[in-house]
Structure 1
Amino acid sequence: MENRLCRYACAFCGEVNDSLVDLSAGRKQSYVEDCAACCRPNVLTIRIDWESGEVSISSEFEG
C-alpha cells in the first residue's frame, strides 16, 4: 500500500487541510473528511494520473 500526503482547501471555511491518499485504492476515489479547523464535512474527490504520478483533490461542502 502506497500513501501520499496531499492538501485541499475546505469548501466551507477555506482552511488548507492535509489528507493521506491511498494510491492503491484506485485512480478515482471519493470520501468524506472533516475540516481540522471548522469540523464541517467535505466530500473529497481524488483523481490519480498513473502516468505522471499527479494526484488532484477537489472538495465540496456536504450539507
Structure 2
Amino acid sequence: MDELPEQTVHCPFCDARLTLLLDTSAGAEHSYTEDCHVCCQPMLVHLTQDTDGHWQATLEQE
C-alpha cells in the first residue's frame, strides 16, 4: 500500500502551521474539504499533480 504524501501548509483562517496527509485518491487534480486541526474551520484543499508526479496543495477558506 502506498503512503499518503504529506505537505506543510498554513490555515487560511488562523494561519496555524499544519501538516496534511494529502488525499490523492481522486486523480491528478481535485479538491476536498478538511477542517483545520487548530481552529476547526473548513478549509478547501486544492490538489494538483505535476508531470513528475509531485503533489501540491493550496488552501482557501470554504
The question of a shared fold, defined as TM-score above 0.5 by the shorter chain, is answered with yes
SS at match of 2:40: coil
TM-score under structure 2 length normalisation? 0.80
Instruction: Give a deviation string over 1:8-60, Cα, whole Å, max 9, x none.
Output: 211111112122123342001201111111111100001011x3222111111
Structure 1 ranges of 4+ moved more than 2 A: 22-25
Contact 1:6-1:19 at 8 Å conserved across structures: yes
2:50 is the counterpart of 1:43 = no
SS at match of 1:23: coil
Figure out how many residues of one structure are paired with residues of the other and give that number. 61
Q: State the superposition RMSD in angstroms.
A: 1.6
- Gaps in structure 2 of 5+ consecutive residues: none
Matched-pair identity in %: 34
Contact 1:27 1:47 survives alignment (8 Å): yes
Range moving further from structure 2, 24-33 or 37-46: 24-33
